[in-house]
Amino acid sequence: MQTLEIIQEIQRLPLNKKFYVVEETIKSIKKEETSHQLEFAANALYSDYKNDKELTAFTSLDFEHFYEAK
């Protein structure tokens, strides 16, 4: 389906369904944008985490068992 066809189909919908389509489309766009931003940030910081031991110092404790003192 082409963009023009999609728009024409949406125009045929009742108002409440048009709002639903718009809301779901915006949610989808926000989710995709957030995913792109997180991917960009992870890629930008990857070399720092790979090469800077101070940033990963606490990962050696990942498998340690901690107990809460009461």
Q: Does a structural domain hold residue 65?
A: no
Q: Does a structural domain hold residue 39?
A: yes
Specify the pTM: 0.59
- The DSSP-derived string for 27-60 is HHHHHHHHHHHHHHHHHHHHHHHHH-GGGGGGGG
Q: How many domains does the chain have?
A: 1
Q: Does a structural domain hold residue 59?
A: no
Domain range enclosing 33: 15-49
State the first-to-last Cα distance of the chain, in angstroms, to the nearest integer. 63
List pLDDT tens digits, range 46-64. Answer: 888 888 888 877 777 777 6
Query: 16 pLDDT band (50/70/90 cuts)?
Result: very high
Q: Does a structural domain hold residue 56?
A: no
Q: Does a structural domain hold residue 27?
A: yes
Q: Does a structural domain hold residue 32?
A: yes
Q: Does a structural domain hold residue 45?
A: yes
68 three-class SS = coil
